[in-house]
Chains A and B, each alone.
Chain A
Amino acid sequence: MSIETSTYDVQAIRKDFPILANARPHAKPLVYLDNAASNQKPQVVIDAIAHYYTHQNSNVHRGIHHLSQVATLHYDAVREKVRDFFNAPSAQEIVFTSGNTDAINLVAQSYGGAFLSEGDEVVITEMEHHSNIVPWQMICEQTGAILRIAPMNDDGDVILEEYEAMLSEKTKFVGIVYVSNALGTVNPVKEMTRMAHDVGAVVLLDAAQAAPHLRIDVQELDCDFLSISPHKMCGPTGIGALYGKADLLDKMPPFKGGGDMILSVTFDETIYNEVPYKFEAGTPNIAGVIGLGAAIDYMMNIGLDQIEAHEAELLAYGTKILQQVDGLRMIGTAKHKAGVLGFVLDAAHPHDIGQILDGEGVAIRAGHHCAQPVMKHFGIPATSRASLSLYNTKQDLDALVVALGNVNEMFG
């Protein structure tokens, strides 16, 4: 599809984000390039949360009074928005969680706890975020299953032949990061999911870094589970969403016990509620869900394909101008990338780079990005990472390059 990026009015979009004008780090204009950590919120999301607390606040699925019904209506309506965003078959297949990490832990503990046993294998890739490593280490420890790591090459691409060779009838579960937070690699998740299904494994896609940048279609991908991180896509923190195929969610035991996840409780027996409520114990983050709904509306109004095209143009531009900086080496050079520009600089350590850039109002991330195995692969302790969002401009990337010139001047 060819998108006319000239119709993408990034200046108008920037006006939707009050912090971009309000924040003046060190009395400088804010150049926010730490979007992979958490991106900024448009006024409509901030307003939706305030509106909920100002006009609609109550508990959900509990009261017969007016406000509880209003809150329940708006809360459950967001489930339909998420379904639409994922192109999932049914809103029953959407579970609200406290975040992407919580969603993966839910799958690892509930599905893994029930269906993994000693000698089974779980396969993940070398470029996973810690959130898609540690939950699997924990459940493997508990069940006696074996965790296997599909390696990547020096561009930051999964070596597909090795991945495929690793899959066997022993493989019961596969966890794949859709887009790497440290490298920006967009993994061929549809193909990798098909390969896993060929051996009968169940597949989870960690789409935390994909959802802000790419259109997601769970039916086309045919993944069994997919999790997102709403605060990286214009939504609030403290909320997550998990897609799971209905037949799998149905047969999985609850993850947490408490209110709202039951149909009836006696001291002899508890009957669990139906999916998805079975997985939503306790009072949920209602305002967070409302905020997520507003964030999805906001992104879909702009157009997911338009956002993807704008960011692809920025990524190409950023890649080009960063390589003109003396002593700079990109970390993560996969052909298909989204949102992330990782690099190291000969003259300075990533933390010093981050510090100097901060003084210029340029916010980036420096560190291991919760992906220490990725750092180990490249033999470095840390990288600097500039990451993009729908409101970034070429001027933001120009400012980054100018500030990196200052780093070279100071440390060179």
Chain B
Amino acid sequence: MADQRALYQQVILDHNKSPRNYGEMECPDHKAEGYNALCGDQFTIYLKMGEGDVIEDITFEGAGCAISKSSASVMTTMLKGKTQAEAQQLFTGFTDMVTSDVDAPFDKDMVGKALVFSGVREYPVRVKCATLAWHTLMSALEDADGTISTE
């Protein structure tokens, strides 16, 4: 089970069991829903924005596998106080990391504590799980209508 432990790191298991910033937000400035048709994973991201395009508060709710749920939870803990541009940079860093080749270098400074998801690189079918919340975040920030999907 050693190789699976590399994917399911303790931080991931912990966030899966006790997700942070979980729940619906009253009167959010933005919200978006993300849906993974193949898995049935579904999350909603709620955002409250402050001055200077700063994310003042962020919550999520929904259901999915441990990877998608913990990824959403870890993401919310990283984004409070970040500007929209910084959030965009983290999104790029995260998606670059999980879609890079297993041995390829990636910029660890770009992903912060989401580094615990680097093991996802070895499991291409799980990339869509890890990125679902991030894509939904981007959709919420852009205030795009409708539901996004990582299928």
Which residues in A have some Cβ–Cβ distance to B below 8 Å? 26, 348-352, 355-356, 359-360, 367-368, 375, 381-382, 406, 410-411
Contacts and interface: CB of A to CB of B under 8 A. Distances in A.
A352 B65 contact: yes
Given A381-B40, A382-B40, A411-B13, A349 B64 contact: yes
A382 B40 CA distance: 7
A348 B70 CA distance: 13
B66 interface: yes
A368 B16 CA distance: 21
A368 B69 CA distance: 19
A351 B3 CA distance: 16
Contacts of B16: 411
A411 B4 CA distance: 12
B39 A382 contact: yes
Contacts of B13: 410-411
25 contacts: A348-B66, A349-B65, A350-B65, A351-B65, A351-B126, A352-B67, A355-B7, A355-B123, A355-B126, A356-B4, A356-B8, A359-B1, A360-B1, A367-B39, A375-B40, A381-B63, A382-B39, A406-B1, A410-B1, A410-B8, A410-B13, A411-B13, A411-B16, A411-B17, A411-B66
Contacts, number: 49
A326 to B, nearest CB: 16
Say which size band chain B's interface belongs to: 20 to 34
Nearest to B17: A411
A368 B123 CA distance: 20
Contacts of A360: 1
A231 to B, nearest CB: 21
Nearest to B41: A381
B127 interface: no
A26 B40 contact: no
B3 A352 contact: no
Nearest to B3: A359
B107 to A, nearest CB: 27
Nearest to A403: B1
Contact of B3 (A26, A350, A367, A381): A26
- Of A26, A352, A367, A382, chain B has the most CB atoms within 10 Å of the CB of A352
B64 A355 contact: no
A367 B1 contact: no
A375 B1 CA distance: 30
A352 B123 CA distance: 12
Interface in B14-38: 16-17, 38
